[in-house]
Amino acid sequence: MSDYPNPDEEFELMYADELELLQEDPQYNATPEEIAPKEPPLQNESTPQTQSTSNKRNVEELFGDISDLDFAQFEPEAKKTKLKPSKEDELKELMEHILLLRKLNKEKANVLSINTSISSRARNADRDSRNISRRVPKYPYITVRRSDGEDLYVRFHSEEYEREEVLSVVKESKVGHDVLGSEKQRIWNEAQTLLNKLSTESSEMELSEPQDFGSDRDLWLDLYRPKRYIELLSDESTNRTMLKWLKLWDKVVFNRRPKIKPTLKQYDKNTSKFRPFELNTDLDEHDRPFYKVALLCGPPGLGKTTLAHVAAKHAGYNIVEINASDDRSTEAFKTSLENATQMKSLVDTENRPNCLIFDEIDGAPKASIEYLIKFVNGIKNKPKKGGKSKQFILRRPIICICNDVYAPALRSLRQISLVLHFPRTSSAKLAERLTSICRREGLKTDLSTMMALAEKTNNDIRSCLSMMHFFKSEKKAVTLSDVLRGSFGQKDMQKGLFAVWQDIFQILRPKFNPLYQEKDASKKQNEANRTTKIFQTISSFGDYERVAQGVHENFISLKLRDSTLEGLSKAMDWFVFNDLISHQIHTTQNYSLSSYLPYGFIVWHFLFATTQAQKLNLPSAGFEMKQNQVRRSAIVAEMLKGMRPTIKTYCNKSSLLLDILPFLLKIISPNFRPVNLHLYTKEEKDAMTRVVNVMIDYNLNYVQERRQDGVYVFNLEPDVEELFQFSCKKRQLSYSNKQLIAREIELEKMRRTEASKIDKESIKQKPNHLQRLQANAVKVAKTIKPAVTKDFFGRIVSTPTISVKGGPSPSNRIWYQYKEGHNNAVRKPIKIADLL
Amino acid sequence: MLLADKYRPKDFANLDYHKEQATNLKNLTKDGEFPHLLVYGPLGAGKKTRITCILRELFGPGVERLKMETMNFTTPSNKKLEIMTISSNYHIEVNPSDVGIYDRVVIMDIIKNVAQSQQLNVNAAREFKVVILTDVDNLTKDAQHALRRTMEKYIANCRIIMCATSISRVIPAISSRCLCIRVPAPEESVIVDILQSTCKKEDISLPPVLAKRIAQASNRNLRRALLICETCKVEQYPFSDDQKIPELDWEVFIKKMAGKILENQSIETLSNVRKDLYELLSNDIPAGVIFETLLRELLRKSDVSIRETVIKEAAEHEHRLVQGNKQIFHLESFVAKFMYVYQTFMQEMFGDF
C-alpha cells in the first residue's frame, strides 16, 4: 500500500496514508472476521476506505462510544471470538452483534456513498433495495432477541437501551459523548435522509418530522459531530499531521513500525501544496517521536477538540480527556496524568492504550503546566515504583488544546510540543456539510444560504449549527435574507485595533446579492449593511477613544474619495461631538451616553472610506504631543519652583509662558564680546550684572553638558530654550560668554548667601549665656535738672550739689558681674550703694 | 532685575493709573469690614500689583516677607499631591489649578487650615488672614462649589482674594459672594507715560515715537510693554525711532499658520496646520489664546460678509473646547470650518466674475 508508484498524485497519496492507517485499525480492534467477508479487493480508493472506516466506527459507536467501560466489557468477547472461531455460531450474542454491525455498515455505506462517492453505484443499489425492505418491518419493534430478522432486532435493542439510558445512567456521562440514544437517532436520521433521497414518497418525510422533534433535546452540535476521520471538516493537512504524529507513537505503544515514514518523505519532497508543516518523524532512543506533546491551537468553533478525539480514536487509543470543567489543581492534574500514562502494565495488551487530551489548557494553572512539562521530559526520581528505580519515560501521546497559543502560561510548553495551528475551515466545505445536515433534518435551504451563513459566522461550525437548530425548532426554512438580515451567528468578537481602522477606512466590495437585483435597492441595502457593520465593529471593540484617535491621525494622510472641505468640516464636527460626549462620560460617569459614540465612526466611514486597502499607521502624534507637553510643563514648573518669591507672586504659568519667557530669553543673551570680564567696559559690566541678576531671579543657570560628539556645551537649566522652538532663529551666546555668565551666577549666589548669613547673624540673638546685659538708655536730661534752690528772697542759690552728693551719675554707673566659678546661675545687677 | 519687577509699585500711593479705584480700595481696607474680593482683568493689567497693595495696606510691610513652601495633600483616593504656596505671616497664596483635577482638595484643605487657626500675633492689624487664589477661572466646577460654602463658613477668620482673567468661568454663586473688582488694561497713553518714567529712572533715553510703538505692540499689556522695552534695549541701544520691535514667538507662529490657512484651503493645509497646532499645544499655549490670535488674524483678511459666520463659529468652538477634553479636535474643527466658509465665499466671488 505504502509503495505507490506515482508520488505525484497527491490525492491518491493522501488517501494512501489513511488507507494504511485505517487498515491497521480493524486488526487491532479485534473484529477481523467482519472485515474478511465484506472487504472487497481494493480497486477503488475511496469506497473501501469508507467501508473500513465505518466498520471500525460501528464497533466504537455502539460500544466504545457510550463510554470506554462498555467497550472494555465487550473486548474480552471479541477476544474470545478470535480465539475460538469455530464456535461462532454457538455464541448467539456474538452472532447478533455481527449481524447488527453488518446492517449498520450497509446503511452507513449508503449514506456515505451519497455524500462522498458515486463510484460504487452497483453495490449501493443492492444494499438500498435491502434497506427499503428492511425499513417497513421496522415499525413494530416487538420481537426481542427471538427473531433472527436483523431489523427487528436492532431497532428494539436501541430503543430499549435508550429508554434505560434516559431513565438512569446516561445523564451522568460526559456531555460531549454520544449516548446510544442519540446514536440511534442519528442512524434513524440517516435512514430518513436516505429514503428521502431515493424514494419519492413524501409520507415518509412527514413521518419523520415528529420523530425529529423528539430529538431536539440533543444539540445538533453533538448530533453531527464528526465521528470518523474522513468526516472531519478541518483543514486536511492539519488533520493529517495530527494523525501522523499519533501514528509515530505506534512503535512505543503498539510495538509496530510506523509505516508512514518513507511515504511522507517522498511526499514532502515532491509537493508543495500539502506541506504547511514538516513533521519531524525521527524517533528518539525510546522509539518515541521527537515531539511528545501535540498542541492544537486556533479560534473556537473550528473543531480542534473533535479532531483530537477522532484522530486518537482512529489511531486506536482510549481517550482520557481533562478539560476546564475538571479539577486542574496541580495535585489532581498529577494524579490524572500518572493514572493515564502509567497504567500500561495493568491494562490488558489487547485493550486500547490511553491517549491524554488536555482541553482548554490555556486556562490551566501554571503550576500544572509546569508539571506536565516536567513529566513529558521525564521525571528523574521515581522511588515509588518498587522495582523500577530508573526514570520514568512517557509512553503515551498527549494532546493539548488551546485557543491562544501565545498565552504566557504556555510559553515553555510550546517549545517542546508539536504546534498545530488550526486554519479556518473553508466556507465551501462547511457550507456543503451544512447543506447535507439540512437535508437530513429536513430543513429547507440551499447552498448559497449556507455559504452566507458560514461567512457570517466566520466559519464557526458551532455557531452555524446552533443557528440552524434554532431555525429548525422555529419550523421555518432558512433563506438567504434571513441569514443576511438576522443579527444571529455573530459572536461578540474582539477585533484588533488595526482591523477596526481598516474596516472604517475600507469599503469591502459589495458581494453579489441575489435578493436585491435592482441596483438602487442593492445600493441602499449595501449602505445599510455598511452602517450596521461599522456600528457592530465599533461597539464590540469598545475603546472608542483610541479608535477615534487613530481615525483622526490617519484620515489626513490618506487619499480621500471625497476631498471637499464640506465633508471635512462635517467629519471634524463629529470629532468634536465625540470628544464632548466622552469628556462628559468621564467627568460625570454617565455611561449611558456612550451609546452615542459609535455614530461618528459611521460618518467617518462614509466620508473617508475607499475601496482600496489603505496603509494605516499607529497614531503617535497625539501621544508625542502629550509627552512633549508633560516634559515642557515640567520645565516650567521647575523654573517656577526656584524663582524668588517676590517675583513669583507676580507671574503665574500662563503669563510666564505667554509674556515673560519669549522676551526673557532675548534679554539674557545680550551682545557680549567674547573676551575676559576684565576687558569689559563699564556698560558691558553693568549689562553682565543685570543678566546675572535676572537669571538668578528667574532661577536660570547655565550648566555644562557633554554632547554626544564630545563637545561641551552650556545649556540653560531648566532648559527653557526647549520650550519655544517655533522655528524662529535665536541669537545664541558664545560658549565663553555662557561660561562667564555661569561663573558670575555662582559667584553672585555665593555673595548673596554670604550677605544673608551676615544679615542673619546681625539679627540673630546670641545664645543666652553669651548675652551681655545692656543698660537701658537712661533719660539723662531730666534727672540732672538742677534742683533750683531758692533762698528766702526767691533768689536762686547756686549750690555745688554734684560734688557733695557723689550719687550715681548715669555715665559712671558701676556694674558688677559675679564671675567666679563661671556660674551663671545667679546674676543680678547690683549697685555699689547696695553693697556698701 | 527686570524693569517690570524692579519698578513695580508697592503701595497705593505709587500706582500709576486707575487712581480712583486705588482710593476706593484704600478706603475699603480702612473699614473693619473687609469683604472677599474677586479681582479680574486681562493679563498685564496690574491685578496682582493691586492685590499686594491691598495686603500691604491691611497688614503693613510685614506681608512683603515672603517664603515659599510646599504643602502636601492627600486626595480621598490616597494620591499624594504637593503644591507650592507663597506665604507671609498674614496671608497665603496658592494656585489650585497646579494640581489639575484635584484642585478641590487643595481648596478645602487650605481654607480649612487657615481658617481654623486664628491669628496668633496679638499685635496684628487684623484678626483675619487672607487666602489668595490665583487662576480662579481654571478651577473645576467641583472646586468652585467646594469654595462657596467655606467662604461663608470661615469668614470670621479668613478672607479670600481671588484673581482671574475672566469672570465668565466663575460660577455666579462665587462671584455673588465677592466684591468683584475689574482691573482694566491700561490705555496706550498710560503705558507710554509709564515707559518714559521708568526709562528715566533707569537713565535710559527713550524716544517718544518708539515708546508709542512699543505701547502699540504690547496690546495694552503693561508687563509686555516693559519687557519689549527691555528687550529693545538689549538688542540695540541707543534707541532709534524705527527700531525693530521684537515680537512674541508664539504669536508670529500663529500668524504664519493663519497665512497658510488663507493661502490654500485643502486637506494638506489642514495636515500642516495640525502639526503647528500640536506644536503650540505642546508648548502649553492655552487653546483660548490660540483661538483668539488665530481668529484675529483670519478676520483681518476675510471679507465682511463672512466675518459674522466666522466669529460665530469661533465662539462656538471655543465654548465647546472648554467643555471637551481634546483641544486639537476643536481647534482643527474650527480651521476646517473656516476653510470651508472661506472657500465657498471665494468660489462665489469668482463665480460672479
For the segment B165-216, what is each residue's pLDDT rounded down to a tens digit? 888 889 999 999 999 999 999 999 999 999 999 999 888 888 889 999 999 8
Q: Is residue A823 part of a domain?
A: no
For the segment A397-409, what is each residue's pLDDT rounded down to a tens digit? 888 888 777 777 7
CATH of B249-352, one of 3.40.50.300, 3.40.50.10540, 1.20.272.10, 3.30.1490.70: 1.20.272.10
Asked if A56 contacts A24 with a C-beta cutoff of 8 angstroms, the reply is: no
Give the model's pLDDT for residue A131: 46
Do A144 and A42 share a structural domain? yes
Domain hosting A201: range is: 31-224
**In chain A, how many domains are there?**
4
For the segment A258-286, what is each residue's pLDDT rounded down to a tens digit? 555 444 444 444 444 444 445 666 666 66
For the segment B134-144, what is each residue's pLDDT rounded down to a tens digit? 989 888 888 89
Percentage of residues of chain A with pLDDT beyond 70: 57
User: 3-state SS of A494-542?
Assistant: CCCHHHHHHHHHECCCCCCCCCCCCHHHHHHHHHHHHHHHHHHHHHHHC
Q: Do A659 and B224 touch (CB under 8 A)?
A: yes
Asked if B228 contacts B192 with a C-beta cutoff of 8 angstroms, the reply is: no
For the segment B145-167, what is each residue's pLDDT rounded down to a tens digit? 988 888 888 888 888 999 998 88
In chain B, where are the structural domains located? 18-182, 188-235, 249-352
Q: Do A557 and B285 touch (CB under 8 A)?
A: no
Q: Do A649 and B249 touch (CB under 8 A)?
A: no
Residues of chain B found within 8 Å of residue A622, distances taken between Cβ atoms: 278, 326, 328
Least confident of A90-99, A534-543, B199-208: A90-99
* Calpha distance A396→A376 (Å, rounded): 10
Give the model's pLDDT for residue B124: 64
Q: Is the pLDDT of residue B295 over 90?
A: yes
Q: Is residue A639 part of a domain?
A: no
CATH assignment of the domain containing A429: 1.10.8.60
Q: Is residue A55 part of a domain?
A: yes
Do A452 and A393 share a structural domain? no
Whose CA is closest to A207, among A136, A302, A273? Answer: A136
- Looking at mean pLDDT, say which of A255-259, A361-365, B218-222 comes out highest: B218-222
Least confident of A460-474, A622-636, B22-36, B229-243: A460-474
Q: Is residue A723 part of a domain?
A: no
List, as ranges, residues 186-245 from B with C-beta within 8 Å of A. 221, 223-224, 227-228, 230-231, 234-235
Question: How do strand A354-358 and strand A398-402 relate by DSSP bridges?
Answer: parallel
Do A411 and A282 share a structural domain? yes
Do A341 and A468 share a structural domain? no
Do A213 and A136 share a structural domain? yes
Do A392 and A256 share a structural domain? yes
Q: Is residue A60 part of a domain?
A: yes
State the pLDDT confidence band at A715, using cuts at 50, 70 and 90.
Answer: confident
Q: Is residue A430 part of a domain?
A: yes
Give the model's pLDDT for residue A76: 44
Residue B234 has its nearest CB partner, among A582, A662, A670, at A670
C-alpha distances in angstroms, A322 versus A325, A328, A359, A421?
Answer: 8, 8, 6, 21
For the segment A65-77, what is each residue's pLDDT rounded down to a tens digit? 444 444 444 444 4
* Calpha distance A290→A283 (Å, rounded): 6
Q: Is residue A11 part of a domain?
A: no
Do A453 and A342 share a structural domain? no
Q: How far is B151 from chain A (nearest CA, A)?
A: 23
| Residue range A21-26: mean pLDDT, rounded | 50
Give A60's DSSP letter. I
For the segment A453-511, what is each residue's pLDDT rounded down to a tens digit? 777 777 778 878 887 777 777 777 777 777 766 655 555 555 667 778 888 888 776 55
Do A400 and A260 share a structural domain? yes
- The reply to whether B293 touches chain A by the CB within 8 Å rule is no
User: Which of the listed residues A166, A196, A224 is the one where a domain comes to its end?
Assistant: A224
End-to-end CA distance of chain A: 144
Residue B249 has its nearest CB partner, among A621, A648, A662, at A662
Residue B273: Cβ-neighbour burial (10 angstroms; 0-12, 13-18, 19+): buried
Do A270 and A192 share a structural domain? no
Could you confirm whether domain B18-182 is CATH 3.40.50.300? Answer: yes
- The reply to whether B260 touches chain A by the CB within 8 Å rule is no
List the helix and strand counts (H, then E) for chain B. 14, 7
Do B18-182 and B249-352 agree at the fold level?
A: no
